Amino acid sequence: MLKVDLIIHNGHVLTMEGKGVGFIENGAIAIKGNIIEAVGESTEILTNYKAERMIDATNKLIMPGLIDAHIHTGISIFRGVAQDMSNWMQKGLWPFQKHLRPEESVVGSMVNIIEGVKAGTTTFCDYDGRMDLLVQNYKKIGARARLAELINEIPDDIGDLPVGELYPFDPSIGQEKLQRNLDLYEEHHNTENGRITVILGPHGPDMMSLELLKEIQAHAERLDTKLHMHVAQGDREVLQIEKRYGKRTIEFLEEHGLLNERLIAVHLTEATDEETEVVAKSGAKLIYCAGSIGIIDGMVPPVQKFLDAGGTACLGSDQAPGNNCNNMINEMKMAAILNKVKYKDPRVFNATQALRMATIEAAKVMGIDDQVGTLQAGKKADVILLDLSSPTFFPVLTTPIRNIVPNLVYSARGDEVETVIIDGNIVMENRVILTVDEKEEIRKAQAAAEQISIRAKDDILSADSDILQMVRDGLL
Amino acid sequence: MLKVDLIIHNGHVLTMEGKGVGFIENGAIAIKGNIIEAVGESTEILTNYKAERMIDATNKLIMPGLIDAHIHTGISIFRGVAQDMSNWMQKGLWPFQKHLRPEESVVGSMVNIIEGVKAGTTTFCDYDGRMDLLVQNYKKIGARARLAELINEIPDDIGDLPVGELYPFDPSIGQEKLQRNLDLYEEHHNTENGRITVILGPHGPDMMSLELLKEIQAHAERLDTKLHMHVAQGDREVLQIEKRYGKRTIEFLEEHGLLNERLIAVHLTEATDEETEVVAKSGAKLIYCAGSIGIIDGMVPPVQKFLDAGGTACLGSDQAPGNNCNNMINEMKMAAILNKVKYKDPRVFNATQALRMATIEAAKVMGIDDQVGTLQAGKKADVILLDLSSPTFFPVLTTPIRNIVPNLVYSARGDEVETVIIDGNIVMENRVILTVDEKEEIRKAQAAAEQISIRAKDDILSADSDILQMVRDGLL
């Protein structure tokens, strides 16, 4: 018998290996340190391995932790202030954001990460400013993170610029932010036993000069890493690119050699079917944020087209103010149903596809599929346990129809997640996060949010957004 | 000081009175027996009332219980066996349903009701066969129910009939089912202190003769009650009506005087904009089931059109196998985002509208707005408390932007509901249901579901649904 640190047995397992979900009835997993030693049927694992710590997973689902491929935790402190409105960015978010201090962004981010972990997210691909500060949250709570610093070369008060005017570029801002991303890489990439990794985060092709974008691409080649970038993310972006370069975003990126397997393109909201195919065939990957694009833009981006063209795509929850939640189970259901409606076909975007796009396909998109995304010997031990005796999972059937995955995607809410193991460490047990004090983190962040509202009051009033009017009319 | 039984104080209150959400900062509610005695600011309530039992609702939201206007709890035992597929009814549900025994339907229904209560549903408008048995679940758990027995006059094995063939009508079946609905009314209407009420439940205009439909309408007039009926619910229905009567459903109903304020029409999936207006202007009400029609049909029914035409509409979660969850918070978010996407406008179907459609508008649709749907003196004490210190409600802002309702609709998941009071009784406290043993109910229902799968095996295999193929291919 081989000795390991932890054995979880007697549960139904989804390994997410192969083309489907890799179901094992009455399965088990053996974990040594931060690595999965073996996965298989319980009898087999219990015959070959022993451990001091055993978890009996009877009536539980054992599966890989979920991967949120696109999240901006630094602005989660603005949840609920910007939806059901036009001009989301300028009238909703910006009046608050211009008053956000880095330390407030950090405390807000921690609540957002707690929200994600409690719904089974183990890897956060956070894409934000001041990642040098936010990274500490991931270190403290013990989550896996693949971080990118937002790089642009536009002044912070760009939200005040009238729609249609070209953004002014300031190379000194660009260099400062690029340097911050490079410093982040230098200081934090592959730290915490490899749990924290860093990639590059150009904000969008409209938000920087072509020169800076090419410079970032050159750094990506030098570091052999990826670019996490908003692409064709809204009419505002397309307008800027057309006005500046006389062509649309995808053509512009293609022309300059920026469409390739290093690119992780986010949204593609405004891409035509033809442009979507071009991106898919280039080897670039796609992150689809169903909830945020639905609520902010009322749109369903061409993710299914991208997949049909042979591309690799996954899901992200995007920012809390505009979705408004960071729960990958919500994201899976939203993605599936919005695409069924888009194509008027209930067979489109099935539960298996949705679940893969929050696990192994997400790992492929982010370039970490050698480490996470499936339960497989040799991979990092990011494992979650869900309570199959919750009403939302009722009934659990295994033959002839197996309904666990549909019920996970379409019925579960997130609170079925009982235990979260990240890099071999138990971060949440019986829904209690062990590494940080949840209530205290929320208390601190709530105090900060109230202070921002006070400082931002005049800007909020003068923006006079649709939802401010609703508050004034007693409708909210 | 007036003596009451229960005071809940120091919470943020949504009364849902007026045109909006009736927000009261630091509010309280006084409850005597099963009736709301007063609602107001905490200082005012605490000055005027005293009670033996006090609940300090600091950091909690106090609001009316949610109303699920359309649910079939009797088939919840089939959750997860019929989605991502074509021919949902015939290939997905029917192979199971033909083997369902009444006692199995009852144990499955109880889990479904538990699911709803745990997500804040206090009134269930259940619409099913054998309601004479299901009613006992509502009596036992202590939920409010507005029940309708499904009346049709087609044989039980109709699921085997090829699509396109006219359903055979058997008047003896119709009379038996009508009698069951009338008996249900006789025995259970206005029982349990008025908590259980009964209306009439014609299954759909395609599923019975015009004579029977008129007979049911005559009973509704005699009893001064309502008809809960699927209307224009799918192409199958429209085909049947066109084939039988040579016209479309809405024209058929109008011609025979069946479109009026007694009618609660469910779905209208297949109604044109013009037909939708006709229904709205007739005084008939609409129940919109966003999740179920999204997942089963890939469609967004014309609910916004119905509202714009002056109609009164609300939300329902429909059946567990086809949605696949019965959580009104899910339903609010789905309804809002699907309509934003339908109209490509983020302002459409805002959070306030969604919340009203799960509370006071639902009460109006069901004809119980004199009793529930708002927190208001004299109404029944159906009250829920939600934990505002959950990560999903972070941050809680009250000025200048008030974000509680957007975060309830777009971010909350249901497990924020801590306490559920129905008809003045505490049915759930700290997420534990006090009236039934949740785990034992799930255990019983799970055993029943497994037995049905065994008996139904041959029919499931011969239906060879899309998801059976996925199981066979290792994709599920």
Residues of A in contact with B352 (CB under 8 A): 470, 475-476
The residue behind tokens 């049927």 is: A41
**Which of B397, B441, B446, B458 to probe by mutation at the A interface, max A CB count within 10 Å?**
B397
Shortest distance between the Cα of B170 and any Cα of chain A, in A, equals 33
Is 70 exceeded by the pLDDT of residue B159?
Answer: no
Give the residue-averaged pLDDT of A63-89.
96
Is 80 exceeded by the pLDDT of residue A160?
Answer: no
Binary contact (B442, A118; C-beta < 8 A): no
Shortest distance between the Cα of B23 and any Cα of chain A, in A, equals 7
Per-residue model confidence (pLDDT) at position B236: 85
Per-residue model confidence (pLDDT) at position A159: 67
Mean pLDDT over the full length of chain A: 97
Is 90 exceeded by the pLDDT of residue A118?
Answer: yes
Strand partners, B147: B198
Among A20, A337, A476, the residue with its CB nearest the CB of B475 is A20
The residue behind tokens 């905490």 is: B42
Mean pLDDT over the full length of chain B: 97
Query: Measuring CA to CA, which residue among A211, A203, A210 is closest to residue A237?
Result: A203
Binary contact (A460, B291; C-beta < 8 A): no
Among A80, A112, A330, the residue with its CB nearest the CB of B406 is A80
Same-fold call for A2-64+374-433 versus A66-366: no
Provide the token pair at A446.
Answer: 């709530």
Shortest distance between the Cα of A333 and any Cα of chain B, in A, equals 9
Cβ of residue B346 closer than 8 Å to a chain A Cβ = yes
Shortest distance between the Cα of B291 and any Cα of chain A, in A, equals 8
Query: Which B residues 405-444 touch A at CB under 8 Å?
Result: 405-407, 410-415, 438-439, 442-443
- Closest-CA residue of A relative to B414 is A413
- Closest-CA residue of B relative to A460 is B400
CA geometry: angle B24, B353, A446, nearest 5 deg: 45
Binary contact (B80, A411; C-beta < 8 A): yes
Provide the token pair at A404.
Answer: 């666990």
Q: What is the ipTM of this complex?
A: 0.97
The CATH number that domain A2-64+374-433 falls under is 2.30.40.10
Cβ atoms of A293 and A315 closer than 8 Å: no
Is 90 exceeded by the pLDDT of residue B430?
Answer: yes
Per-residue model confidence (pLDDT) at position B162: 79
Among B345, B407, B450, the residue with its CB nearest the CB of A324 is B407
Is beta strand B2-14 parallel, antiparallel or unpaired with respect to B23-32? Answer: antiparallel
Shortest distance between the Cα of A32 and any Cα of chain B, in A, equals 29
Residues in chain A: 476
Is beta strand A23-32 parallel, antiparallel or unpaired with respect to A35-41? Answer: antiparallel
Binary contact (A346, B111; C-beta < 8 A): no
Give per-residue pLDDT as tens, A429-476. Answer: 999 999 999 999 999 999 999 999 999 999 999 999 999 999 999 899
Shortest distance between the Cα of A217 and any Cα of chain B, in A, equals 35
**Which of B61, B84, B347, B438 to probe by mutation at the A interface, max A CB count within 10 Å?**
B84
Is 80 exceeded by the pLDDT of residue B425?
Answer: yes
Cβ of residue B450 closer than 8 Å to a chain A Cβ = yes
Cβ atoms of A131 and A197 closer than 8 Å: no
Is 90 exceeded by the pLDDT of residue B156?
Answer: no
Per-residue model confidence (pLDDT) at position B133: 98
Tell me how far apart the alpha carbons of residues B308 and B305 are, in angstroms, rounded to a whole number: 5
Residues of B in contact with A337 (CB under 8 A): 291, 294-295, 334, 338
Residues of B in contact with A334 (CB under 8 A): 337
Cβ atoms of B409 and B401 closer than 8 Å: no
Binary contact (B334, A337; C-beta < 8 A): yes
Is 90 exceeded by the pLDDT of residue A140?
Answer: yes
Per-residue model confidence (pLDDT) at position A381: 98
Cβ of residue A447 closer than 8 Å to a chain B Cβ = no
Binary contact (A395, B449; C-beta < 8 A): yes
Per-residue model confidence (pLDDT) at position A462: 95
* Helix, strand or coil, per DSSP, at residue A411: coil
Is beta strand A227-231 parallel, antiparallel or unpaired with respect to A263-267? Answer: parallel
Shortest distance between the Cα of B456 and any Cα of chain A, in A, equals 9
Is 80 exceeded by the pLDDT of residue A115?
Answer: yes
Cβ atoms of B283 and B256 closer than 8 Å: no
Q: Following DSSP, what letter does each residue of A98-156 receive, concatenated?
A: TT--HHHHHHHHHHHHHHHHHTTEEEEEEEES-HHHHHHHHHHHT-EEEEEEEE--S-G
- Reported CATH class of domain B66-366: alpha beta
Query: Measuring CA to CA, which residue among A421, A428, A414 is closest to residue A195?
Result: A421
Per-residue model confidence (pLDDT) at position A89: 87
Give the residue-averaged pLDDT of A68-72.
98
Per-residue model confidence (pLDDT) at position B161: 78
Give chain B's count of helices (H) and strands (E). 18, 17
Per-residue model confidence (pLDDT) at position A161: 79
Cβ of residue B322 closer than 8 Å to a chain A Cβ = no
Binary contact (B471, A402; C-beta < 8 A): yes
Q: Provide the b/e sequence for B30-41 (b: ≥16 CB within 10 Å).
A: bbbebbbbbbbe
Among A115, A350, A465, the residue with its CB nearest the CB of B84 is A350
Among B80, B347, B405, the residue with its CB nearest the CB of A86 is B347
Q: Following DSSP, what letter does each residue of A321-377 receive, concatenated?
A: TTT----HHHHHHHHHHHHHHHHT-TTSS-HHHHHHTTTHHHHHHHT-TTTSSS--T
Tell me how far apart the alpha carbons of residues A79 and B406 are, in angstroms, rounded to a whole number: 9
Tell me how far apart the alpha carbons of residues A303 and A266 are, in angstroms, rounded to a whole number: 10
Query: Measuring CA to CA, which residue among B323, B313, B252, B312 is closest to residue B287?
Result: B313
Strand partners, B8: B29, B55
How does residue A156 score in pLDDT terms, banded at 50, 70 and 90?
confident
Tell me how far apart the alpha carbons of residues A110 and A134 are, in angstroms, rounded to a whole number: 8
Query: Which B residues 34-93 touch A at CB under 8 Å?
Result: 76-77, 79-81, 83-86, 88
Is 80 exceeded by the pLDDT of residue B411?
Answer: yes
How does residue A399 score in pLDDT terms, banded at 50, 70 and 90?
very high
Domains of chain A, residue spans = 2-64+374-433, 66-366
- Reported CATH class of domain B2-64+375-433: mainly beta
HSE-CB for B99 with a 13 A CA cutoff: 18
Shortest distance between the Cα of A16 and any Cα of chain B, in A, equals 10
Among A85, A334, A395, the residue with its CB nearest the CB of B346 is A85
Cβ atoms of B9 and B55 closer than 8 Å: yes
User: Kind and range of the H or E element at A274?
Assistant: helix A273-282
Q: What are phi and psi of A143, to 5 degrees?
A: -90, 155
Binary contact (A449, B394; C-beta < 8 A): yes
Binary contact (B410, A470; C-beta < 8 A): no
Instruction: Report the C-alpha dihedral over residues B27, B30, B35, B40, rounded to 10 degrees.
Output: -30
User: A453: burial class by Cβ within 10 Å (0-12, 13-18, 19+)?
Assistant: buried
Per-residue model confidence (pLDDT) at position B343: 97
Tell me how far apart the alpha carbons of residues B304 and B308 are, in angstroms, rounded to a whole number: 6
Contacts of A447 (CB under 8 A, 6+ apart): none
Tell me how far apart the alpha carbons of residues A418 and A428 are, in angstroms, rounded to a whole number: 7
Query: Angle between the B171-188 and B131-141 helix axes, to the nearest 10 degrees?
Result: 20
HSE-CB for A432 with a 13 A CA cutoff: 3
Query: Measuring CA to CA, which residue among B108, B29, B111, B112 is closest to residue B68?
Result: B112
Binary contact (A112, B414; C-beta < 8 A): no
Binary contact (A400, B457; C-beta < 8 A): yes
Give per-residue pLDDT as tens, B165-184. Answer: 899 999 999 999 999 999 99
Instruction: Report the C-alpha dihedral over residues A188, A192, A193, A196, rounded to 10 degrees.
Output: -50
Per-residue model confidence (pLDDT) at position A87: 87
Tell me how far apart the alpha carbons of residues A401 and B450 are, in angstroms, rounded to a whole number: 11
CA geometry: angle B223, B225, B229, nearest 5 deg: 130
- Closest-CA residue of A relative to B465 is A401
Cβ atoms within 10 Å of B222's Cβ, excluding its own: 8
